[in-house]
Amino acid sequence: MQDPIYVTRTFLPPRAEYDAWLDKIYESHILTNNGPVHNELEEKLRSVLNADHLLLTSNGTIALQLAIRTLGVTGKVITTPFSYVATVSAILWEGCTPVFADIDPRTCCIDPAKIEALIDDETTAILATHVYGFPCDVDAIKDIADRHGLKVIYDGAHAFGTIYKAKSLTSYGDACTLSFHATKLFHTVEGGAVILHSEEVRKKMRLQRSFGHIGDEHFELGINGKMSEMHAAMGMAVLPYVPELIKTRRSLTERYAERLKEVNVTMLSIPVETEFNYGYLPLILPTGKRQIVTDALAAVQIHPRRYFFPSLNTLPYLEYAQCPVSEDMASRMLCMPLYRELSLEDVDRICSVIAAALK
C-alpha cells in the first residue's frame, strides 16, 4: 500500500538551515516587534519582488484587512466570487459590503466586463484575486478604477513568483496582499505581506499593524498584525529554495498536461506575457463528473481538493447574487496534487485513475 497523496505537502527546508536562523534569534533574544530576522526577510522580499514599499504581516487575511482599512476603503467593494473565503470575509470584517462580479472562465479571475455595471455612488474599491497565480486583467481593471476613482486591491495570496509583463504580478494595484501560509508556494508557516506604492501609506499601515502606537504615544486605532522572528526565520530558510520549487512544479505540471492530453478535462492555459509560478494544478472536469473522479482517486488514497468551493456568492450569511460562471467552475474544479516530493510516476498514476474514471 502506498502512502496517501494529498493536494499539497509543505516544503520544509533542511533542519540545520532553519536552526541556524533560530540560533541568531537565541543570540539576539528578540522574538518579535520588527526584530532583525523580520527586517532581513522584509529587505530580501523587497528585492525578490521588486517592491520598494513592503510590509510583513502575521497572515494573509490581516494583510487584506489592513489594505482595506489603510487605503480608506468603505461602503461597497466589487469583488470576485471565485476565491478563498478570506477575500470576502476581510471585506465584511472591515464593515464593507461585497458586490460580486462574475469571473472570466479562461483565467477564473474577475471579468472586467462585469465590473462597470455594478459601480454606484457607494463603491470605493475593487478587490480581485490573482486566482492560482494567473494574472487578473490588470490593465482593464486599472482603466475602470481610474475612470471611477476607485482603489484597486489585489489578493495576491497565489501570486508569489508569477511575472506579468516583465514585472512581479504582486506589483499591480494600489495594494497587493500576500499569504505565506504553509500551504502556499513560499511560506513562513503563517504569515503575509502587503505591497504598497508609497512610503507614507506604508508608515500608516505599519502603525495600524502595531496597535496604533509608537512607544507611549498613541496615534490611532490599531490591531496586532506583526510577524514574529520565528516565522520570519522559516521564511529566510525557505526563500532560497523557491526557484527550485517552481522548477519542479513546472515539470510535474507538464507531465500532467501530457498524460491528460487525450482525457476529457481542461487545464487553464498560461496567459500571454506571463511567467507562471505553477502554484496550483486546477483541472476543470466535465459537468457532473467531479464526484466520480474524486471517489476513484480516494479509493487509492489520492486526495485532490475542490478549490475554490463554494462559490462565495452562495455563502449562507450573504445575500445571494447570481454568478453563473463562478458557480459552474466551483462545481467542476479539482486541484490536483502538486509539490516537490511528488514523482512523475505519481503523476502518471493519478492521471491513469482520472482517465479510467472518465471513460
Which residue in the set 49, 71, 86, 227 belongs to the binding site for ligand PLP (CB under 6 A)? 86
- 3-class SS of residue 128: strand
Asked if 60 touches ligand PLP (CB under 6 A), the answer is yes
- Beta-carbon-side half-sphere exposure of residue 240 (alpha carbons within 13 Å): 7
Amino acid type, 29: H
Q: For the CB of residue 165, give the shortest distance to ligand PLP in the complex, in Å.
A: 21
Q: Shortest gap between Cβ of 60 and ligand PLP (angstroms)?
A: 3
Task: Give the DSSP letter string of 299-333.
Answer: HTTEE-B--S-S-GGG-TTS-----HHHHHHHHHE
> At its nearest, how many Å lie between ligand PLP and the CB of residue 101?
16
Note whether 98 binds ligand PLP by CB under 6 A: no
Nearest CB to ligand PLP, comparing residues 157 and 336: 157
Contact between 135 and ligand PLP per CB under 6 A = no
Q: Name residue, grid cell 473565503.
A: 85
**Least distance (Å) between residue 214 CB and ligand PLP:** 26
Among 65, 87, 171, 228, binds ligand PLP (CB under 6 A): 87
Counted residue by residue, the chain has a size of: 359
At which residue does the C-alpha cell 482520472 appear? 354
| Residue 79 sits in the site that holds ligand PLP (CB under 6 A) | no
Does 83 help bind ligand PLP (rule: CB under 6 A)?
Answer: yes
Q: Is 173 in the site for ligand PLP (CB under 6 A)?
A: no
Contact status: 181 vs ligand PLP (CB under 6 A): yes
Is there binding between residue 282 and ligand PLP (CB under 6 A)? no
Q: Hunting for cell 514523482 — which residue is that?
A: 343
Task: Kindly determine how many residues on this chain lie close enough to bind ligand PLP according to the rule CB under 6 A.
Answer: 14
- Interface with ligand PLP, residue 59, by CB under 6 A: yes
CA 191/CA 45 separation, integer angstroms: 13
Do 312 and 155 form a contact (C-beta atoms < 8 A)? no
Q: Does 129 bind ligand PLP (CB under 6 A)?
A: yes
Question: Which residues lie below 8 Å from residue 9, measured CB to CB, with a gap of 6+?
Answer: 339, 340, 341, 342
Does the footprint of ligand PLP cover residue 226 (CB under 6 A)? no
**Residue nearest to ligand PLP according to CB distances in the complex:** 60
Note whether 61 binds ligand PLP by CB under 6 A.
Answer: yes
Question: Per CB under 6 A, which region of 38-46, 78-86, 263-271, 315-323 contacts ligand PLP?
Answer: 78-86
Measured from the CB of residue 180, what is the shortest distance to ligand PLP in angstroms? 7
The widest CA-to-CA distance across the chain, in whole angstroms, is 69
With 0-12 / 13-18 / 19 or more C-beta atoms within 10 angstroms meaning exposed / middle / buried, residue 203 is middle
∠ CA 176-181-186, rounded to 5°: 75
336 phi, psi to nearest 5 deg: -90, 160
Decide: is 84 part of the binding site for ligand PLP (CB under 6 A): yes
What's the N-to-C CA distance of the chain in angstroms? 25
Parallel/antiparallel/unpaired status of strands 274-275 and 163-164: antiparallel
8 is an interface residue for ligand PLP by CB under 6 A: no
Nearer to ligand PLP, 155 or 346 (CB): 155
Our CB check for ligand PLP shows the closer of 68 and 157 to be: 157
Return phi, psi of residue 136, to 5°: -65, 165
Of the candidate spans 44-52, 118-126, 155-163, 283-291, the one that interacts with ligand PLP by CB under 6 A turns out to be: 155-163
Query: Of 154 and 260, which has the nearer Cβ to ligand PLP?
Result: 154
Q: From the DSSP assignment, how many helices (H) and strands (E) are in the chain?
A: 11, 17
User: Among 98, 135, 161, 192, which residue sits at the site for ligand PLP (rule: CB under 6 A)?
Assistant: 192
The CB-of-174 to ligand PLP minimum distance in angstroms stands at 17
Q: Which of 37, 157, 236, 252 binds ligand PLP (CB under 6 A)?
A: 157
Q: Which residues contact 359 (CB under 8 A, 6 or more apart)?
A: none
As a whole number of angstroms, the distance between CA 281 and CA 67 comes to 28
Note the residues at the interface with ligand PLP (CB under 6 A).
Answer: 59-61, 83-84, 86-87, 129, 155, 157-158, 179, 181, 192
